[in-house]
Amino acid sequence: MPMVPMRQILDEAANGGYGVGAFNVNNMEQVQAIMAAASQTKSPVIIQASRGALKYSKMIYLKKLMEAAVEDNPEIPVALHLDHGNSVETCQQAIELGFTSVMMDGSLKEDGKTPRPYHDNVDVTKAVVEMAHAKGVTVEAELGCLGGIEDGHGAGLSDKDALKHLTDPAQAEEFVKLTGVDALAVAIGTSHGAFKSSNRDSFGKVLPPTLAMDRIVSIHERMPHCHMVMHGSSSLPAELIALANAFHVVGIVDEDPEMVLFMGEIYNLRDKFGYHAFLYALMNKKRMPNMQGIPLDQIVTGIQNGVRKINVDTDSRLAITGTIGKIFAQQTGKFDPRDYLGPAREANTNLVAERMIAFGQAGHAGDYTPTTLEAMKDYYTERGR
Ligand code: G3H
Ligand code: 13P
Ligand code: ZN
């Protein structure tokens, strides 16, 4: 099966009432992990690469990996999507490389940091839509700003400040009409990365972020056919947090008040991962404090209200790095990269497969005949953009 336009995957998801995970990749193991998960669960899938990923993989390598992924899995509809494009030129480059979908993130200026005025966002998004639709390529845009920052991209807003930049439903309706985008990323209080919340209970325990689900409901009511996208949707399940805290290497200084909590938690690590993990964590006195993700049930509520694309990167990063950390800690002498990259790939596969089942895309790979960019070109011409 050739690569399909992302629009088809989202249209079919809307017809079936399910969501589709969009998983970030940077290397061969991640591409293989996602395809293995799609094949195991019979899921259509969106694979996405950020500008940072393209730079890291030197573009041509990623392109060839994707060609291999498609050839190796002829039964799986796959869309290749540019994540957080920052300019018309970047989107054009991705299209020339063979991407079947691009995101023009006009919520931020080209520096990828400063919030961009609404009318500039409309203009730059419109320019990308014209260029992409002329080739049958899908376009995702963003309105409102997410919290967090990844690889230099993001306004760096705290989750509290991000609440001031939520997507306005009336403006969203106008934006979609003016630009003709296929999918809209909405800011509802999610943020990129592993630390999505500053909410705490009375014991100081971090709680999930406050999400403005009413915005999703309202946008869906206004535009039932608009495919909404939830960025920053890693869930940071307890298992991954425990794995990262047991073996990962992100420093925390001894005088940090969190240390008290930490000492309590490492006893839980011993129960979960054994005495090795306990000793390792104790010796290193290191952990990633306050990690918090988006609970899966909230994502499912989003899907029930028109969210069709769910972006997940951080969970994969943690599964991979946590697994490698565990192998290094537990099995000294392992220096063949296959000894740790193989299990890391498997952990990534399991994580992605779980998400595919939770989002509802599992079992839908064979539902439809793949369409082509040529057919989408005709579709956009007929509808006038
Ligand atoms: O939106 C951010 C994604 O997690 C991609 O991150 O730019 O570090 O590749 P990255
Ligand atoms: P996470 O950091 O929650 O995985 O979000 C990824 C994302 O939104 C990529 O665009
Ligand atoms: Zn994102």
Sign of CA dihedral 240, 245, 250, 256: positive
Which ligand 2 atom lies nearest to the CA of residue 234? 3
Whether 168 lines ligand 2, by a CB cut-off of 6 Å, is no
Distance 316 CA to ligand 2 centre (A): 10
Structure tokens at 337: 């990269």
Which ligand 1 atom lies nearest to the CA of residue 150? 8
What is the model's pLDDT at position 260? 47
Q: How many CB atoms lie within 10 A of CB 375?
A: 12
Please identify every residue annotated as catalytic: 83
Which residue is it, tokens 């023009």?
104
Whether 313 lines ligand 1, by a CB cut-off of 6 Å, is yes
Distance 189 CA to ligand 3 centre (A): 12
Pocket test for ligand 2, best of 231, 348, 355 (most atoms within 8 A of CB): 231
- In the structure, what pLDDT confidence band is assigned to residue 141 with cuts at 50, 70 and 90? very high
Which ligand 1 atom lies nearest to the CA of residue 49? 9
Distance 26 CA to ligand 2 centre (A): 14
Q: Which ligand is nearest to the CA of 291?
A: 2
Q: Which ligand is nearest to the CA of 195?
A: 2
What is the model's pLDDT at position 145? 85
pLDDT at 149 over 60: no
The C-alpha angle 83, 115, 236, rounded to 5 degrees, equals: 50
Q: Which ligand is nearest to the CA of 51?
A: 1
String of DSSP letters for 187-225: -SS-BSSSB----B-TT--B-PPP--HHHHHHHHHH-TT
Tell me the average pLDDT across 5-26.
Answer: 98
Domains of the chain: 6-236+293-313+356-383 (3.20.20.70)
- In the structure, what pLDDT confidence band is assigned to residue 256 with cuts at 50, 70 and 90? very low
- As residues whose CB is below 5 A from the ion ligand 3, the structure lists 231, 311
Whether 311 lines ligand 2, by a CB cut-off of 6 Å, is yes
Structure tokens at 105: 């993130």
Whether 231 lines ligand 2, by a CB cut-off of 6 Å, is yes
Structure tokens at 323: 């697994």
For the chain, the distance separating the N- and C-terminal CA atoms, rounded to the nearest angstrom, is 27
What is the model's pLDDT at position 246? 76
Structure tokens at 154: 């993001």
How far apart (Å, rounded) are the C-alpha atoms in residues 139 and 141?
7
Whether 86 lines ligand 2, by a CB cut-off of 6 Å, is no
- In the structure, what pLDDT confidence band is assigned to residue 263 with cuts at 50, 70 and 90? low
Pocket test for ligand 1, best of 313, 315, 318 (most atoms within 8 A of CB): 313
What is the model's pLDDT at position 383? 86
Tell me the average pLDDT across 33-51.
Answer: 98
What is the model's pLDDT at position 151? 45
Distance 237 CA to ligand 3 centre (A): 19
The pTM of this model reads: 0.91
What is the model's pLDDT at position 220? 98
Please tell me whether residue 25 adopts helix, strand or coil conformation.
Answer: coil
Distance 384 CA to ligand 2 centre (A): 33
What is the model's pLDDT at position 253? 35
Structure tokens at 314: 């951080």
